[in-house]
Amino acid sequence: MTELPDSLLLQARALINQAVAEAMAQGKPAIQALYFVTYPAEDVTPEVIRAAIDTMRQATPAGRAELHFTPKPGRYVCWNCCGLRYEAIDGVCPNCGHEGLVIPMEMVVALERIEV
């Protein structure tokens, strides 16, 4: 395996911290499953994303969690109506017509939900 990019490791650590904080808020000592969405990137493969998440979850309540990854093509997200992730030339949400927020190209993975 090639060396993992520091920026991706930092993203992975932040996502694991987010998942652990959610589990703690629910009063649960361990996380059973982590669900992520991934976005296309020219220089980061799904295998590298998985390796970064796996590296950063060791010795945490997420250490034995099942990992699930769902690729999403969209580079926009609408926080006006529903959190929809979508692709569009003009960035307009197909549900509500408001302009969505661009998901930055350096953001290649996001935590969708956890199971505790």
Model confidence, pTM: 0.85
Distance in angstroms (rounded) separating the CA atoms of residues 90 and 102:
10
Render pLDDT for 53-90 as a digit per residue (tens, 0 to 9).
999 999 999 999 999 999 987 789 898 988 888 888 89
Helices (H) and strands (E) in the chain, counts: 2, 6
Helix (H) or strand (E) holding 105, with range, is none
Helix (H) or strand (E) holding 101, with range, is strand 101-102
Strand-pairing partners, residue 33, are 66, 115
Average pLDDT of the residues in 89-109: 91
Average pLDDT, the chain: 93
Q: State the distance between the two ends of the chain, measured CA to CA, in whole angstroms.
A: 30
Hey, what domains does the chain have and what are their CATH numbers? 6-73+106-115 (3.30.2320.50)
